[in-house]
């Protein structure tokens, strides 16, 4: 192998695989990016939902008498 | 506060500004490496997803573009490693290598197959330097390696191609 052979091979490669002519982006990818961000975001529960769940659980634990009343209404 | 600082602080609107500023350049870089427009679009989104995830490590005083090129190159390299697919050749091939079309086609196929067999890191450097004529320092920056290592990988890529073609 000599430098001349290398250059020849490089030329052959260049002539066999053409450079990409169209490298222009034809659409805005931001909507796809947003979808990706939404899919990957961990599910976030607001603090007040946790507070509401805690109040409901405490009510059922400390006042079990409300359970039959709730079942009757549902 | 400029968009880079706001992005580093986790501002989604600043990320959108940077995304819109850089998506075309990132896509153009990736499509030169993977040579498939659909895959390049997917990898552009993947690149910006990686950028968004690692925003805490971004230095707002640095160049967002250079950082994006580095991450884009890694994403494209990961794709080349996973994919054992042959390099897609565009239809508008350059001038004939030999006057005989059959010999020309056979020669082209052999080169294409040999090129597709190159390990990803050599294929990346060979594609950018030999086919796309990108300067060595730009390839080095994007790949996070030295210019000397780009030259070494290029030399080895040519040697591997020669071995397969002989």
- From chain B, pick out residues whose CB is under 8 angstroms from the CB of A10: 130, 158
Q: Whole-model pTM?
A: 0.77
Encode pLDDT of A2-56 as tens digits: 556 677 777 888 888 888 888 999 999 999 999 999 887 766 778 888 999 999 9
Residue B127 per-residue DSSP state: I
Q: Give the distance from residue B106's alpha carbon to the nearest chain A alpha carbon, in angstroms.
A: 11
- CATH fold, domain B3-82, is Rna Polymerase Sigma Factor; Chain: A (1.10.1740)
The matching CATH number, chosen from 3.40.50.300, 3.30.1330.10, 3.30.70.890, 1.10.10.10, for B101-165 is: 1.10.10.10
Encode pLDDT of A23-32 as tens digits: 999 999 999 9
**Radius of gyration from C-alpha coordinates of chain B:** 18
> What pLDDT does residue B94 have?
43
Question: B92, A18 in Cβ contact below 8 A?
Answer: yes
> What pLDDT does residue A3 have?
59
Chain B interface with A: residues with Cβ < 8 Å: 12, 16, 19-20, 23-24, 27-28, 31-32, 35, 37, 41, 44-45, 48-49, 52, 87, 89-90, 92-95, 97, 107-108, 111-112, 115, 126, 130-133, 155, 158-159, 161-162, 165
Encode pLDDT of B56-90 as tens digits: 999 999 999 999 999 999 999 999 998 865 444 44
Cα angle B143-B123-B58, degrees, rounded to a multiple of 5: 20
CB-count burial class (<10 Å; 0-12, 13-18, 19+) for A2: exposed
Q: Give the distance from residue B123's alpha carbon to the nearest chain A alpha carbon, in angstroms.
A: 12
Examine the pLDDT at B95 and tell me if it is beyond 50: no
pLDDT over 70 percentage in chain B: 87
> What pLDDT does residue B87 have?
47
ipTM of the complex: 0.79
**Distance from C-alpha of A67 to C-alpha of A73, rounded to nearest angstrom:** 10
């Amino acid at each position: 192998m000599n430098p001349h052979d290398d250059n020849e091979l490089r030329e052959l490669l260049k002539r066999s695989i053409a450079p990409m002519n169209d490298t222009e982006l034809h659409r805005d990818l931001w909507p796809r990016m947003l979808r990706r961000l939404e899919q990957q975001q961990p599910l976030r529960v607001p603090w007040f939902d946790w507070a509401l769940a805690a109040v409901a659980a405490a009510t059922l634990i400390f006042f079990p008498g409300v359970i039959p009343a709730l079942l009757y209404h549902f | 506060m400029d968009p880079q600082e706001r992005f580093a602080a986790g501002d989604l609107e600043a990320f959108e500004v940077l995304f819109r500023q850089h998506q075309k350049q990132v896509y153009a870089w990736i499509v030169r490496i993977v040579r498939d427009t659909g895959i390049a679009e997917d990898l552009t989104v993947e690149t910006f997803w990686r950028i968004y995830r690692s925003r805490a490590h971004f230095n707002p005083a640095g160049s967002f573009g250079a950082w994006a090129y580095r991450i884009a190159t890694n994403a494209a390299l990961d794709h080349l490693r996973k994919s054992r697919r042959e390099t897609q050749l565009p239809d508008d091939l350059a001038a004939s290598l030999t006057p005989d079309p059959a010999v020309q086609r056979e020669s082209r196929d052999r080169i294409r197959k040999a090129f597709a067999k190159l390990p990803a890191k050599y294929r990346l450097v060979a594609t950018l330097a030999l086919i796309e004529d990108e300067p060595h320092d730009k390839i080095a920056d994007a790949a996070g390696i030295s210019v000397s290592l780009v030259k070494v990988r290029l030399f080895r890529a040519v040697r591997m191609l020669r071995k397969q073609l002989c």
